[in-house]
Amino acid sequence: MRRILACLLAMAALGGVSLLGDANDIVKTELARERRRLTLDSRTLADISRRLETALSQLAAASRAVAEAAAKSDSPAEEISRREDVVSESEQEVRSLLEKRRLVADRIVERHRSIAALESELTPKKLDAVTGRWAVTVDPGSQRGYFRMTLDGTIVSGEYALEGGYTGSLRGTLVSDRLRLERVDSTQGFSAIFYGRVARDYSSISGTWETTTFGGGATTNGIWRAVREEEENNP
């Protein structure tokens, strides 16, 4: 089942929105099949369980019959042996039904897991305000790159890469729709603060940035914008 879901996601990533709709249809079809299979397996398990109860009763009766025959001093050895053969046959039937029951029960567990996985694929993924990957443009200069961020409560953390070989980490906070990020360069250390406002649909962020060159005391600032990238297209 995991291989099926992985193939569907790969198809969706290659084919875009239209193919994603087709993939959802395939998932729905497979989900319906798994539910039908689960119904059949549940009926089979119920039938085997009833047969097992009967077989156990027969085994108990056969075992008592041997004990009763053995308790009588005038019981022929052949009668005791015959009754013991019945016990052996009942034991074999019980073992066989126990194994069948175990296999069906294991299959039912896997059916439930498959159904849960398929249902998860059909459930719209809930976005929070900033978690994910964002295509970023920083002005002046139209410097492009990406931010990848994760939100935990009001704390934001992540990483970035910008044209010119600039990479590093992000740390900050999100309060309501107001984002404050500190950009920490992998070689230069703390380098800038980004202020932004998250759009209501969580699709974009826009705002200003500023950095201080500590040697000369000059302040550099500008504007920036980020657009959320589709998760399937993220490397």
Which structure tokens are listed for 167?
Answer: 């990479």
Cα distance between residue 142 and residue 131, in whole Å: 24
pLDDT at 23: 74
**Tens digit of each residue's pLDDT (9 = 90 or more) over 183-232:** 999 888 888 999 999 999 999 999 999 986 555 555 589 999 999 997 64
**Tens digit of each residue's pLDDT (9 = 90 or more) over 52-69:** 999 999 999 999 999 998
CA 56 remoteness from chain centre: 41
pLDDT at 188: 83
pTM over 0.75: no
**Tens digit of each residue's pLDDT (9 = 90 or more) over 73-92:** 888 999 999 999 999 999 99
pLDDT exceeds 50 at position 39: yes
| Radius of gyration of the chain measured on its C-alpha atoms | 34
